[in-house]
Amino acid sequence: MVYFTGIEEVEDLADDLERAARATPAEVRKVHQKGALNIKKDWQAAWSGHPRIRMLPNTVTYDTEVVGDRVSAEIGPERGRTGAALANLIEYEFGSVHSAPIPGGAPALDRERPRFERALSDLEVRLLEGRR
């Protein structure tokens, strides 16, 4: 429980919360960028070394965006890059007697999720404490 002894403390708290709110979108974007980069690298590693799809790991990219107070990241094969048209086949459907699908995206996301959630939680604490 928090007790305030004077209006100055309440005003200080309001200032701290306002400062944290202003910093949040940019700081959350940094967390998204790091998470997206980790997923991209993990995904590329899953597709690396395959003799028939050498170009496919290079198609995986990411981008982050802030719109208002919403931060998003898009990660995956980028259309227009050489080999990107094969991505869905390799990720989900490429199955035959000689070749099985090679999922990269969902497993990379699953591995990153706990780190990402921990980073957001740590960020929340830092911002409320006035640290970045």
Domain spans, the chain = 7-128
Q: Rounded to two decimals, what is the model's pTM?
A: 0.82
Residue in 108, 113, 48 with CA at minimum distance from that of residue 83? 48
Structure tokens at 1: 């429980």
Cα–Cα distance, 132 to 90 (Å, whole number)? 40
Other C-beta atoms closer than 10 Å to the C-beta of 102 total: 15
Asked if 32 contacts 71 with a C-beta cutoff of 8 angstroms, the reply is: yes
Q: Over the range 16-47, which residues count as b (16 or more CB within 10 Å of their CB) and which as e?
A: eeeebeeeeeebbbebbebbbebbbebbbebb
Dihedral angle over CA of 34, 38, 41, 44, nearest 10 = -120
pLDDT at res. 108: 97
pLDDT 10s digit of each residue in the chain, 132 long?
Answer: 566 667 887 777 777 778 877 788 888 999 999 999 999 999 999 999 877 788 999 999 999 998 888 899 999 999 999 888 888 888 887 656 677 788 999 999 999 999 999 999 999 888 888 765
Structure tokens at 76: 């995956």
